Structure 1
Amino acid sequence: MLNRIDRYVLRQIMGPLLTTLGIAALLLILERMLKLFDFVVNQGGPVEVVFQMLANQIPHYLGLALPVGLLLGTLLAFRKISLSSEYDAIVSSGIGLPRLMRPVLMLSLVMMLINTVLVGWIQPYGRYAYRNLVFDLRSGALGASIRVGEFVDLGDNITLMIEESRQQGAELVGIFLERRDEKNTISVTAERGGFFATEDDQTILLRLYNGVLVDLNEGQNKPRVLSFDQQDLTVKLPAKETFRDRGGEELELTLPELNRERYNPALSVKEANAMNANFHWRVMHSVTFLILPFLAIPMGLTNKRTARGTGIVIGLSLLILYNEFMEAMETAITNGASPYATTWLLFGLFTALSLFFFRIAAYKVGGEPLAWIDRTWAVVSGPMKRLSKRLMGVSD
């Protein structure tokens, strides 16, 4: 069971962890939202589809934010504890750094399980649903909006143009419509109108008010002209195309499906390698959560006299580089490299470096893994500071 110190450490971690997750996810979602609004508007789709597409993208962004959240949450928590002398008091009471790792590793295990469910099941279904929405938008299955001042082909040989749209498209003003078939053409102008649903989901009703209908028939010497107060025209929608089944690529497969497909003899070598690469990437991405505390804690412990933030910069930089190399290793496996000589070798190096930093912080008296960086910076920055002071003195 967790004692009071364990619960205190977890409370210190959860604050910056949740804050980091919220900020990172919000920034990623806002950046994506702008692109989706532009895409949906250009495709003529309803605005509410943007939020459905964003909801399907949230698991992807959470997968990106979770490692950063755990690293920063743990790092900032132990930085705060060390700066306030609480770490010295805890260590003086006989509780060493390895014992303080217990609640952090428990949290890491929980986050590893969450991430496994996320990348193994939720993300593939979310990606498929997102691409289904993109397909429906491009095929017009979601109902394309009528663009003001443009001729729009509605299918069934019908062309429509409106001058003004009111109440979010519920009322159309200044309508011109033309329907063509093999023998005649009907042209209609109306003061206003609107679309209404019918019992058949492949047919909609266009109700027009205060207009003129002109029927041009090849068998007649002159066209028939009809004035009306209300006229209903049925419009048959084009048949809706069906989207492909899930599993068009490795990113849409769940973890068990991916494990099975990478041994599928029906796949080409390139496709099987891509399945294998993504499988190892997902497994390593989840297992990495157990290693992040061993990097974050040494990066967070700092000297109270200097209180430099070197650890924050180095810790984030190492995680970013690690993620970039992870993607490079996935590409290498797709091209035929061994996953154990690429992905798992990278994981081993990252683990060894993290454990090296942790060993210095835990077992070396006054151990600061990044003390050499601070000393190097002091040597480099000293002459620069003296030169700047001399130049300022000359300018004065």
Structure 2
Amino acid sequence: MINRIDRYVLKQVAMPLISTLGIAALLLILEKMLSLFDFVVNQGGPANIVFQMLANLTPHYMGLALPVGLLLGVTIAFRKISLSSEYDAIISSGTGLPRLMRPLMMLALLLAVINTILVGWVQPHSRYTYRELIFDLRSGALGASIRVGEFIEVGDDITLLVEESHQQGAELRGIFMERKDDRGSIAVTAESGGFFATEDNNTILLRLYNGRLVDLNESQNKPRVLSFERQDLKIKLPSREAFRERGGEELEMTIPELFMERDNQEWSLDERRAFNGNFHWRLMHSITFFIIPFLAVPMGITNKRTGRGTGIVIGLSLLIVYNEFMEGMETAVKGGASPYATIWLLFGLFTFLSFFFFRISAFKAGGEPLAYIDAFWAFISRPIKRLGKKIMGVSE
């Protein structure tokens, strides 16, 4: 059963956790949005496709933000509790620090399940959809937006120039079009017009109003000029290849697919190693959620007299370094190394370090891991400071 202390701890963790997830995801999405808008505009695609692409990138960003959110949420919550003397009151009531880990483990279990669903199933499908959207943009399957004041190629052997474009090409003004074929060319000018869909997905209709058509046929002695109030021209779109099926690389496979295909002899040795490395990385990524609270709690507990906030920086730095090294371990597995001597060994070292800090806070009287870290940093930085003073003395 969840008692009042458990609910209080979860309440203190929830706000910084949600805030961190929201801010991190928003920053990552905004940073990517600028490059996606630039890419879509250069490809001539509709602007609303950017939001579809961002929606398919969101599971990837959430997978990055969840571990950071858990770490910062727990660290900030226990820093607040320890600075307000609530931590001392809870400990004095007979509730030890190991007992306070129960609600955190429940939260870690929930986030681990969410993360497993994200990295195991949602991300492979969303990554595939994202790449399919890029393919469709480059192939023109999404429909090129009309770039005003520029000559653009529409279909086969058709050049179009438009002075004004509204409603994604449904309303065009100041139109010039030239179509060339084996017999000659046709030049058309019109006051207005627009593109409309047809029953054939490979054909679109260009409807023109109030214009002139000049037929420059080589078999004729002189050009034939035709004035019209309305003229419909069917334009056949260039054929394109269908996008490939999902799979073929580890990032587009679900966890069960990776488990099955990593021993499939139909794949090359390098591909099987890539499947194996990514499979172990995804398992490790989810299990790490159960270790993060044991690092975050001692990084959050601080001395009320000093009020040092270095634990937040140190904890976040350790998690970032751990993730960077883990990506290197996955690369090593792709090169032929054993996942147990790389990925799981690093996971073991991270677990040992986290439990070491937690043991100091939980079972040592007055234990404060940050004091050990500060002492270690002072030992390392002392020679550097002495060298800096000597250099400054020589320069003076």
Q: TM-score over 0.5 for the alignment?
A: yes
2:219 matched to which residue of 1? 219
Deviation digits for residues 105-149 of structure 1, max 9, x if unmatched?
111011111100100000000000000000000000000012122
For 1:259, the aligned partner's letter is: F
2:331 matched to which residue of 1? 331
2:289 matched to which residue of 1? 289
Deviation digits for residues 198-255 of structure 1, max 9, x if unmatched?
2222221111122111112222211211111221111112234311000031100000
Moved more, 60-69 or 87-96: 87-96
Deviation digits for residues 16-53 of structure 1, max 9, x if unmatched?
00000000000000000001000000000000000000
Aligned residue for 1:46, secondary structure, equals coil
Please say if residues 146 and 168 of structure 2, whose CA atoms lie closer than 8 Å, have aligned partners that are also in contact. Answer: no
1:247 matched to which residue of 2? 247
Q: How many residues align?
A: 386
Aligned residue for 2:238, secondary structure, equals coil
Give, in angstroms, the shift of residue 170 of structure 1. Answer: 2.7
Write out the 4+ residue segments of structure 1 that deviate beyond 6 Å after TM superposition.
Answer: 376-381
1:302 matched to which residue of 2? 302
Q: Is 2:60 the partner of 1:68?
A: no
Aligned residue for 1:326, secondary structure, equals helix
1:148 matched to which residue of 2? 148
Give, in angstroms, the shift of residue 370 of structure 1. Answer: 1.5
For 1:219, the aligned partner's letter is: S
For 2:292, the aligned partner's letter is: L
Please say if residues 46 and 168 of structure 2, whose CA atoms lie closer than 8 Å, have aligned partners that are also in contact. Answer: no
Give, in angstroms, the shift of residue 175 of structure 1. Answer: 1.2
In structure 2, what is the Cα distance between the partners aligned to 1:377 and 1:319? 18
Moved more, 178-187 or 277-286: 178-187
Q: 1:198–1:10: structure 2 CA closer, same or farther, 3 Å change rule? A: same
Query: 5 Å matches for 1:104-183?
Result: 104-183=104-183
Please say if residues 112 and 289 of structure 2, whose CA atoms lie closer than 8 Å, have aligned partners that are also in contact. Answer: yes
Give, in angstroms, the shift of residue 376 of structure 1. Answer: 6.2
For 1:247, the aligned partner's letter is: G
In structure 1, what is the Cα distance between the partners aligned to 2:136 and 2:104? 45
Give, in angstroms, the shift of residue 372 of structure 1. Answer: 2.7
Aligned residue for 2:154, secondary structure, equals strand
Aligned residue for 1:365, secondary structure, equals coil
1:388 matched to which residue of 2? none
1:40 matched to which residue of 2? 40
1:257 matched to which residue of 2? 257
Deviation digits for residues 326-350 of structure 1, max 9, x if unmatched?
0000110001111000000000000
In structure 2, what is the Cα distance between the partners aligned to 1:299 and 1:196? 62
Q: Is 2:365 the partner of 1:361?
A: no
Q: 1:362–1:153: structure 2 CA closer, same or farther, 3 Å change rule? A: same
Moved more, 220-229 or 2-11: 220-229
Aligned residue for 1:155, secondary structure, equals coil
Moved more, 195-204 or 66-75: 195-204
1:78 matched to which residue of 2? 78
1:195 matched to which residue of 2? 195
Q: 1:376–1:268: structure 2 CA closer, same or farther, 3 Å change rule? A: closer
1:98 matched to which residue of 2? 98
For 2:373, the aligned partner's letter is: I
Q: 1:135–1:109: structure 2 CA closer, same or farther, 3 Å change rule? A: same
Aligned residue for 1:75, secondary structure, equals helix
For 1:198, the aligned partner's letter is: T
Give, in angstroms, the shift of residue 167 of structure 1. Answer: 4.4
1:389 matched to which residue of 2? none
For 2:52, the aligned partner's letter is: Q
Deviation digits for residues 146-194 of structure 1, max 9, x if unmatched?
2122221111322211122234433222211112222232111112211
Give the alignment's Cα RMSD to 1 decimal: 2.0
Moved more, 51-60 or 244-253: 244-253
Q: Is 2:61 the partner of 1:57?
A: no
In structure 2, what is the Cα distance between the partners aligned to 1:92 and 1:218? 101
In structure 1, what is the Cα distance between the partners aligned to 2:375 and 2:285? 34
1:209 matched to which residue of 2? 209
Give, in angstroms, the shift of residue 304 of structure 1. Answer: 0.6
Moved more, 48-57 or 221-230: 221-230
Aligned residue for 2:331, secondary structure, equals helix
Q: 1:268–1:375: structure 2 CA closer, same or farther, 3 Å change rule? A: closer
In structure 1, what is the Cα distance between the partners aligned to 2:301 and 2:346? 25
Give, in angstroms, the shift of residue 308 of structure 1. Answer: 0.3
Q: 1:190–1:38: structure 2 CA closer, same or farther, 3 Å change rule? A: same
Deviation digits for residues 240-276 of structure 1, max 9, x if unmatched?
4311000031100000001111111011111111111
Give, in angstroms, the shift of residue 354 of structure 1. Answer: 0.4
Aligned residue for 1:370, secondary structure, equals helix
In structure 2, what is the Cα distance between the partners aligned to 1:251 and 1:73? 29
For 1:95, the aligned partner's letter is: T
Query: 5 Å matches for 1:226-241?
Result: 226-241=226-241
For 1:362, the aligned partner's letter is: A
In structure 2, what is the Cα distance between the partners aligned to 1:321 and 1:198? 55
Q: Which runs of 5+ in 2 are unaligned?
A: 386-396
Please say if residues 184 and 218 of structure 2, whose CA atoms lie closer than 8 Å, have aligned partners that are also in contact. Answer: yes
For 1:171, the aligned partner's letter is: E
Give, in angstroms, the shift of residue 325 of structure 1. Answer: 0.3
